[in-house]
Amino acid sequence: MTSRLLVIGFATRHIAASARRAGYRVVAVDHFCDRDLAALTEECHRFETLEELAALASDAAVRHEAEGVLAGSGAELLDLPLPRLGTPSDVAARFLDKNETQSFFEALGVRAPRRLLPGEYPAMVKPVHGSGGWRNAIVSSDAELEAWEALFPGQPYLLQEVVSGTPASVSCIADGKHAVVVATNRQLLRGSGPMSFGFAGSLTPCDHPLSGEMATIAEMVAGASGCIGAVGVDFVLPDHGGTPVAIEVNPRFQGTLETVEAATGLNLVRLHIDACGGRLPADRPAILRNACRRILFADHDLVVGDDLSVLGPWIADIPIPGTAVPVGGAVVSVRATGQTAQQALVRLDKHIIRVRAYMERW
């Protein structure tokens, strides 16, 4: 009988799809439970808060005979009665704390943004805990920092120097001691508004002149991290030369999984589970094509009025008609591939235009 995996996290459709392609049956606990995730899974349990996530995940772990748990964002530290396939929770906890991550980079001698003291501006303010980058902001005065604090009361934060450049990441597979780079990625951010630094998609591979040096640094970082399975290292690649600047370590599957698989032809869940057994890829894989994905967000409160699955396989994270999406909320993902980055991005823009024609009616 085919083995079953429990996939848990805030957004898990990309992980569930990879697990299905690897030959597993899947049960998911997810914040969205979109139409395509429901189609991929035996059961999909939707949660609103992280407290609900823990309760639903525990219940699903008890009710289903599964080989183990694959953790996405928000589920890295859950204690469940099933084997954790991936980075141990105590190791993951270190990299979910940005102060600890900063200390890790400094101890390795890896360039990271310089810590700033209160009153040093401009500064990048980041919550110590949390992922996705949507609460990050550049502040230029005490008043702007106080305004940020008012938006996120009681939230511990880190102040760092502002590094201008291209946001990027490296996807690695690690066994707790060593790591192999699978792909480099250019990260697509929201780019405007109060959540301008929020993750909004990726382009694989990253064609920046510093991408090779970035990959070498990431392989060393991931190998030293103690992480097991899929691990990502985020960077900023400076606009005017210099050294890649390490930003974060993600001790779990990343949002770039989908473009990495499309660009390399690999299955990251299979590689992840192999790494849990101590088996790493012999070499960095070849890139077969360029692949991109962008998440579209609601620019006003809306109710989904159409079944977007009619648009074809280049649409993912498909909301069920009647779903209410608040302003700023994720609506749907759009994908494209091409032999060059430019070709892939041009196709992506054409697909986005078609999707927005639907969204404008809602």
Give residue 274's identity as a one-letter amino acid code. D
pLDDT of residue 50: 81
Q: Are 4 and 68 in contact (CB under 8 A)?
A: no
User: Interhelix angle for 268-276 vs 257-264, to 10°?
Assistant: 100
pLDDT of residue 49: 86
Of 100, 68, 88, the C-alpha closest to 226 is 88
pLDDT tens column, 278-312:
999 999 999 999 999 999 999 999 999 999 999 99
* Two tokens, residue 196: 């301008």
Of 249, 253, 254, 224, the C-alpha closest to 101 is 249
Confidence of residue 131 (pLDDT cuts 50, 70, 90): confident
Of 40, 44, 4, the C-alpha closest to 24 is 4
pLDDT of residue 339: 97
124 three-class SS: strand
Confidence of residue 195 (pLDDT cuts 50, 70, 90): confident
Confidence of residue 114 (pLDDT cuts 50, 70, 90): very high
pLDDT of residue 129: 92
Of 62, 6, 49, the C-alpha closest to 29 is 6
pLDDT at residue 269 greater than cutoff 60:
yes
pLDDT tens column, 26-74:
999 999 999 999 999 999 999 998 889 999 999 999 999 899 999 999 9
pLDDT at residue 1 greater than cutoff 60:
no
Average pLDDT of the segment spanning 67-92: 95
**Structural domains in the chain plus CATH codes:** 4-85 (3.40.50.20), 88-107+165-288 (3.30.470.20), 108-160 (3.30.1490), 289-362 (no CATH)
pLDDT at residue 11 greater than cutoff 80:
yes
In 59-150 the beta strands, taken as DSSP E runs, fall at: 68-71, 123-127, 137-139
Cα dihedral 333→97→175→201 (10° resolution): 10
List Cα–Cα distances, 41 to 12, 113, 122, 213, in angstroms. 11, 41, 46, 39
